[in-house]
Structure 1
Amino acid sequence: MQEFLVEITTAVPPDVPAEEVDRRRAAEHERAGELAATGRLFRLWRPVGEKRSVGIWRAEDEARLRTDVLGTLPMWPWMTAVVTPLEPHPNDPGAGSR
């Protein structure tokens, strides 16, 4: 499975009712847990003071990452993602732990 650095920004349209946003956020939390349990979501961070996330995600290829992984997130219709494919670095100190 390939790893990707994914930067996600979410912009909820202003006309979406708060109840719908709350419902999707709760479902997003649950779905992220499922993706983590299956190894698709490896790590996730939020830069200090920002409303975006940066994470390491895994999929067979970028197309499947966008459709089968990110595309299953309940907030996905309101997200933009910058996806960067990653490859191992020969000096990666964590390479032996994978």
Structure 2
Amino acid sequence: MREFLVEITTTIPEGTEPAEVDRRRAAEAVRAKELAATGNLLRLWRPVGELRSIGVWRAGDEDELHEKVLGTLPLRSWMTLTVTPLESHPNDPGKADAAG
């Protein structure tokens, strides 16, 4: 499995009913928990004062990430994504923890 840094900006289309926004946001929270449980969503942050998210996601490849992971998010049609594939850095202090 590969890891990806994903920046997500969600823009709600003008004129969208508040009930639809609430429904999709609730479904998004459920789906995020499911993707975390399957190991596809590792971490998720929101920069202070911004309405975007930054996360570390995992998938077999970038096509799988888009089609089978991010594509299943209820808010996906309202999202703009920036995906950056990641690889381990030789000086990553977390590597020692992973090796145990």
**Does TM, normalized by the shorter one, top 0.5?**
yes
Q: How many residues align?
A: 98
Within 5 Å, give how 1:5-20 maps onto structure 2. Answer: 5-20=5-20
Unpaired segments ≥5 residues, structure 2: none
The residue that corresponds to 1:82 in the other structure is 82
SS at match of 2:91: coil
Task: Spell out, residue by residue over 1:55-77, the C-alpha distance to the aligned partner (whole angstroms, 9 max, x if none).
Answer: 00000011110110000000000
Unpaired segments ≥5 residues, structure 1: none
Letter in 1 for 2:20: E
Counterpart CA distance in 1 for 2:21 and 2:62 is: 27
1:42 matched to 2:42? The reply is yes
Letter in 1 for 2:77: P
Within 5 Å, give how 1:17-96 maps onto structure 2. Answer: 17-96=17-96
Identity within the alignment, %: 66
SS at match of 2:48: coil
Letter in 2 for 1:36: A
Q: Which 4+ runs in 1 deviate beyond 4 A?
A: none
* TM, length-normalised to structure 1: 0.97
Deviation for aligned residue 1:96: 3.3
* TM, length-normalised to structure 2: 0.95
